[in-house]
A = this chain, B = another copy of it.
Amino acid sequence: MSDFEVVTEAVLERVEPDPAERERLEATADILLERTREAIADRSVDADPIRVGSTARDTWLAGEHDIDLFVRFPTDLSREKLEEHGLAVGHAVLPEGREEYAEHPYVTGSIDGFDVDLVPCYDVDSAREIESAVDRTPFHTAYVEAGLTADLAAEVRLLKQFCKGIGVYGSDLRTRGFSGYLTELLIMEFGSLRSVLEAASDWYPPVELDPEDHGERSFDDDLVVIDPTDPTRNVAAVLSPDNLARLQHYARAVLAEPRVGAFFSGTPHTLTPSAIERHVARRETAPIALVFAAPDLVEDELYPQLRKSLDGVGDALDRHGFEVLRCAAFARERAVLLFELEVAERPAVERHEGPPVHARDHAEGFYRKYVDTDAYGPFIQGDRYVVERERDNTSAAGFLDGEAVFSARLGPAIEDALRDGYEVREGEGIATLAEEFGTDLAAYFDPSP
């Protein structure tokens, strides 16, 4: 056996569910399916429950206890009726369950240690005719079930675990990584973890895979995997360029030096306040942070808004001359927008370029506007008038502390949260964030690919 095989054997040992675990899951799933059928019969509606997701496809990892049941309703049912029946069936099957909301409402609950979602959807004829994203899921399950042997399922488990280990697993909008379905398609395309990693090592984006050779449109994304069940969809649409690059980096690394540790991220370390102070002192940067109560949003809504706000405030800082070296957003009880600045202060004056002197009307207007003010000038540089006028914000802290920060592009919930109040922490003052954000700051100050 090659080193690589030795490693993957050892990983499989850890991630392959054992027979007892499987049996328990199957038994529970059977009971749930039966209950669902009964609940449907009770409501005299024409519907059909099916199992979906990784536990249905046998690509789940040991310890994952998700059972996903979809109830497919006829397409001539109104959306209102679908929701009504769907929730009623859900509550009948999961009496202790609660309602959640994706594209439409569903019931989620816990039974015998398994997390169960009971989701209504439409029984469309093909994935191209879906009314909401959930309608597509049964087609994915059917496609994978049809094509995936037990050997391939083991390779899927390895690829999933590898993606988890390097932090790129999940198509949620916090992670923007590889979905389970995407890992399944990659294994079906390349045949093994090793082949996927070898291919990825050499990818030169844009990379396009089209397993069914039926793609009908083009995409701007770096990785395009045309959905075998829908020729108009890129399964990798949500994958960020960072995470694609990350997969390439770690693929090369694990092929060059196979080790079990590459598949498991280990316990994240954390930084003490004094360790943070040491980093700041060593880097001689000027960190500054907005700290506020994290808005009460699901991660799929929170993180896009945090990123938008981080970009927006970062751009505004840069525009005002407070140059950002690096920035990051963290969210736990509180949320943090952290900007590590190269330049935190600017002079009292700023250069302001006027029109060319030969553009007579503009030039005369500019000259009149400034000639009797405190500004230095107008003087001439090249063919233009220039003044050095008083700068509105001479420090990043002054800028972030005032109303000016709301001129930045902000996610709406972040703007609301800031309006409710925020603190500005500066310099070594960010060390006070260690208690809540110590692991986030450790990742920030000890960045790895």
Contacts and interface: CB of A to CB of B under 8 A. Distances in A.
20 contacts: A201-B360, A202-B360, A203-B358, A241-B382, A242-B381, A242-B383, A245-B380, A245-B384, A246-B357, A248-B357, A249-B357, A249-B363, A252-B364, A283-B349, A283-B376, A284-B348, A284-B394, A342-B346, A343-B346, A379-B447
A10 B360 CA distance: 29
A388 B367 CA distance: 44
A358 B321 contact: no
A41 to B, nearest CB: 53
Contacts of A346: 342-343
Interface residues of A, number: 54
A356 interface: yes
Given A242-B382, A383-B241, A388 B347 contact: no
A222 interface: yes
Contacts of A95: none
A388 B348 contact: no
Given A283-B348, A284-B347, A376-B447, A325 B388 contact: yes
A334 interface: no
A373 interface: no
A381 B246 CA distance: 9
A79 interface: no
Given A347-B342, A351-B326, A383-B222, A245 B283 contact: no
A407 interface: no
A181 interface: no
A101 interface: no
A243 to B, nearest CB: 9
A282 B388 CA distance: 12
Interface in A187-226: 201-205, 222
A285 B394 CA distance: 11
Nearest to A379: B447
A228 B37 CA distance: 103
A348 B282 contact: yes
Contacts of A326: 351, 388
